[in-house]
């Protein structure tokens, strides 16, 4: 199993550009989530999904959209990038039961917005 994969590894955007961060898992996990990691702030939940077709907001959802058309994929869209979105983004998945269970994290995407 590849586990949780994320692409790209690095990305530089200009303010106002849009882009999609890809996340896929091959463990048939129902629960998937996106976090951002900022220095001194730990990881904060952006959006999560408890299954295909179901998404919900986390702690810091503004400026981001998600969709979950399949169990495997959970892309994160930045609608109009801002310098405040410069961060490292982690995707995670978990078996049915949501965040009560161990989260399996992807390798992360380092995003810089200039």
Partner 1 sequence: AQSVSQHNHHVILSEAASLELGCNYSYGGTVNLFWYVQYPGQHLQLLLKYFSGDPLVKGIKGFEAEFIKSKFSFNLRKPSVQWSDTAEYFCAVNTGANNLFFGTGTRLTVIP
Distance from C-alpha of 59 to C-alpha of 7, rounded to nearest angstrom: 23
Answer left, alpha or beta for residue 84, where phi above 0 means left and psi between -120 and 50 means alpha. Answer: alpha
What are the tokens at 34? 């996106």
The count of other CB atoms within 10 Å of the CB of residue 18 is 11
Indicate the residue among 17 and 37 with the shorter CB distance to partner 1.
Answer: 37
Question: Is 1 among the residues that bind partner 1 (CB under 8 A)?
Answer: no
Distance from C-alpha of 58 to C-alpha of 63, rounded to nearest angstrom: 12
Indicate the residue among 48 and 64 with the shorter CB distance to partner 1.
Answer: 48
Q: Which residue has the tokens 């169990």?
A: 71
Indicate the residue among 35 and 81 with the shorter CB distance to partner 1.
Answer: 35
Question: Is 107 among the residues that bind partner 1 (CB under 8 A)?
Answer: yes
Question: Is 50 among the residues that bind partner 1 (CB under 8 A)?
Answer: yes
Contact region with partner 1 (CB under 8 A), list: 9-17, 20-28, 33-41, 70-78: 33-41
Whether residue 45 has a cis bond before it, omega within 30° of 0:
no
Indicate the residue among 19 and 45 with the shorter CB distance to partner 1.
Answer: 45
Name the site residues for partner 1 (rule: CB under 8 A). Answer: 31, 33, 35, 40-45, 48, 50, 56, 58-59, 90, 92, 98-100, 102-103, 105-108
């Amino acid at each position: 199993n590849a586990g949780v994969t994320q692409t790209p590894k690095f990305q530089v955007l200009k303010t106002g550009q849009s882009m999609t961060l890809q996340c896929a898992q091959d463990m048939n996990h129902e629960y998937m989530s996106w976090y951002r990691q900022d220095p001194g702030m730990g990881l904060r939940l952006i959006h999560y999904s408890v299954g295909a077709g179901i998404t919900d907001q986390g702690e810091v959802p503004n400026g981001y959209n998600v969709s979950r058309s399949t169990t495997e994929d959970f892309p994160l869209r930045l609608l109009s990038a801002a310098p405040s979105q410069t961060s490292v983004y982690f995707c995670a998945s978990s078996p049915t039961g949501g965040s009560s269970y161990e989260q399996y994290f992807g390798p992360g995407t380092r995003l810089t917005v200039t």
